[in-house]
Amino acid sequence: MIERIESKLIDSNVFVITHENSCIIVDAGVDDKTIKAKVGGKKVEAIFLTHGHYDHCYYAEKYQKMFCCKIYASEKIKEYLSNPDYNYSEGKLKITDFSNFVFLGDSGKVNLGSFEVKYKQLGGHSKSDMCYFVDENIFVGDLLIGRDMGRVDLYGGDKKMMKSSLEFFVNSDYVVMHSGHGQDNSKETQDRVAKLWIKFLSR
């Protein structure tokens, strides 16, 4: 089961993915009290961050302390979380102790309890973009949002990398895409959108 919870931080999404009595959490923009109520008595195996902007990471340390689990992310996220100018929090988010983080490489998989999480380092929206595959789902942060591609004009944004990421999605095997904002969409829908943006970026 996957539950999408919308935050008050630019309406970003947090996802709680449940297998029986355990779960994993993707992104951390929803306040910790709300997430605690959603998780209930389930064991939280890990927190996964899609990228380093504050609306997706703001409560990550609070989640970690509350659930006593590790935070998984791209190693490039350190540059963002340690600098409020890069995570766009207006001085409200700065992390300097990364001892509870597990930094992921270019690609691979993590096995946690009954979960197998495949990951891929991408780019385009930020240097820290990471997507995750869980069961038949893909979690892509702000790389592709409904009918829009993610912004490429923020720190670390890159049009060439965005094109490469969109091409990766088109060639990937999944059923449902879960983005950092907005509703979930099928692969068929997102492929049409991705191909339009790839064409635009190829001009």
Looking at residue 14, its pLDDT comes to 98
What does the pLDDT average to over 162-181? Answer: 98
Rounded to the nearest integer, the mean pLDDT of the chain is 97
Using pLDDT thresholds of 50, 70 and 90, give the confidence band for residue 176.
very high
Looking at residue 185, its pLDDT comes to 96
Its CATH class, for the domain covering 2-87+109-201, is alpha beta
- pLDDT tens track for 109-137: 999 999 999 999 999 999 999 999 999 99
Using pLDDT thresholds of 50, 70 and 90, give the confidence band for residue 170.
very high
In sequence order, which residues have a C-beta less than 8 Å from that of residue 159 and are 6 or more positions away? 124, 152, 201
Looking at residue 71, its pLDDT comes to 98
Return d(Cα 153, Cα 37) in angstroms, integer: 36
Return d(Cα 108, Cα 9) in angstroms, integer: 30
Using pLDDT thresholds of 50, 70 and 90, give the confidence band for residue 22.
very high
In sequence order, which residues have a C-beta less than 8 Å from that of residue 36 and are 6 or more positions away? 66
Q: Write the DSSP assignment of the chain as a string of letters.
A: -EEEEE-SSTTBEEEEEEETTEEEEE---S-HHHHHHHHTT-EEEEEE-S---HHHHTTHHHHHHHHT-EEEEETTHHHHHT-HHHHTSTTS------TTEEEE-SEEEEEETTEEEEEEE--SS-TT-EEEEETTEEEEETSEETTEEPPSSSTT--HHHHHHHHHHHHTS--SEEEESBS--EEHHHHHHHHHHHHHHHT-
Return d(Cα 156, Cα 85) in angstroms, integer: 12
What does the pLDDT average to over 158-172? Answer: 98
Residue type, position 150, single letter:
G
Looking at residue 182, its pLDDT comes to 96
Q: Are 21 and 50 in contact (CB under 8 A)?
A: no
Using pLDDT thresholds of 50, 70 and 90, give the confidence band for residue 164.
very high
- pLDDT tens track for 40-69: 999 999 999 999 999 999 999 999 999 999
What does the pLDDT average to over 11-29? Answer: 97
Which of 135, 116, 141, 148 lies closest to 176 in space, CA to CA? 135
- pLDDT tens track for 70-90: 999 999 999 999 999 999 999
Looking at residue 35, its pLDDT comes to 98
- pLDDT tens track for 90-111: 999 999 999 999 999 999 999 9
